Chains A and B, each alone.
Chain A
Amino acid sequence: QPQPQAHDEL
């Protein structure tokens, strides 16, 4: 399952 999008933001 891919990581939800905003999880790579600060």
Chain B
Amino acid sequence: MNIFRLIGDLSHLASIFILLHKIQTTRSCRGISFKTQALYVTVFATRYLDLIFGEFVSVYNVIMKLFFLGSSCYILYLMKMKYKPTNDPSIDTFRLEYLLGPCTVLALIFNFSFTPVEILWSFSIFLEAVAILPQLFMLQRTGEAEAITTHYLAALGAYRALYIPNWIYRYYTEGSWDPIAVLAGLVQTGLYLDFFYIYVTKVLQGQKFELPA
């Protein structure tokens, strides 16, 4: 564990609390892509199989994984049951097969060993890299977002961005790197660059998040 990974994880944790806070206080999941949230459940469910089949890492690791699994399922429940009337599927139109198909193929090609657990682990890494796309696509379509939604996205983006110095640190201290996680993580962070730019230049200056026409 190093400081970059710890702050990254805390940022990930914060993003989920921000999202829950947004849904609970506004009693609405307006502006949140159900597809992206469903992809995160898929990501956690396929990666955290290692809770059952993998080696024990640490109590921290187990608790965080259980939290991410539980909270992401709870968010789906809020969107599909409790606050269903506020969820508008007609603007959440990104085609999931464009993500699931390529991620499946990539996972079958690039994995540590050709076993179900390792293929699913790779699949979860690739899928996580692009899981935000339905959400960003929705933002693009509506052209604006509530401030709280942008704080959620910023915290979520910062999480993987902070993993990059963590991998650099690990490369120098452990002498190795993980090409699957690192390359997917760079792509994942790259997808946020446009968003980060508008977040920093507008939202953090107190302006509304609006995409340029």
B interface, how many residues as a size bin? 20 to 34
A interface, how many residues as a size bin? under 10
Q: Verify if B209 is at the interface (C-beta below 8 Å from A).
A: no
Q: How far is the CA of A10 from the CA of B9 in the complex (A)?
A: 8
- The digit string for B175-209, where 1 denotes a CB below 8 A from any CB of A, is 01110111000000000000000000000000000
For residues 1 through 10 of chain A, which have their beta carbon under 8 Å from a beta carbon of chain B?
A: 3-10
Q: Which residue of A lies closest to B12 (CB)?
A: A10
Docked-complex contact A8 and B61, CB < 8 angstroms: yes
CB-CB under 8 A for A10 and B65, given A4-B112, A5-B177: yes
Q: How far is the CA of A5 from the CA of B176 in the complex (A)?
A: 8
Q: Which of B14-22, B33-41, B49-57 binds A?
A: B49-57
Q: Verify if B94 is at the interface (C-beta below 8 Å from A).
A: no
Docked-complex contact B181 and A10, CB < 8 angstroms: no
Q: How far is the CA of A5 from the CA of B57 in the complex (A)?
A: 12
Docked-complex contact B178 and A6, CB < 8 angstroms: yes
Docked-complex contact A9 and B163, CB < 8 angstroms: yes
Closest chain-A Cβ to B67's Cβ sits at a distance in Å of 10
Q: How far is the CA of A3 from the CA of B61 in the complex (A)?
A: 15
Docked-complex contact B64 and A10, CB < 8 angstroms: yes
With a cutoff of 8 Å between Cβ atoms, the chain A residues found around residue B177 in the complex are 5
CB-CB under 8 A for A5 and B112, given A10-B64, A10-B68: no
Docked-complex contact A7 and B121, CB < 8 angstroms: yes
Q: How far is the CA of A9 from the CA of B186 in the complex (A)?
A: 16
Docked-complex contact B55 and A3, CB < 8 angstroms: yes
Q: Verify if B5 is at the interface (C-beta below 8 Å from A).
A: yes
Docked-complex contact B5 and A7, CB < 8 angstroms: no
Beyond contacts A9-B163, A10-B68: 18 other A-B pairs, Cβ-Cβ < 8 A, are: A3-B55, A4-B112, A4-B178, A4-B180, A5-B174, A5-B176, A5-B177, A5-B178, A6-B182, A7-B54, A7-B57, A8-B57, A8-B58, A9-B166, A10-B9, A10-B12, A10-B61, A10-B64
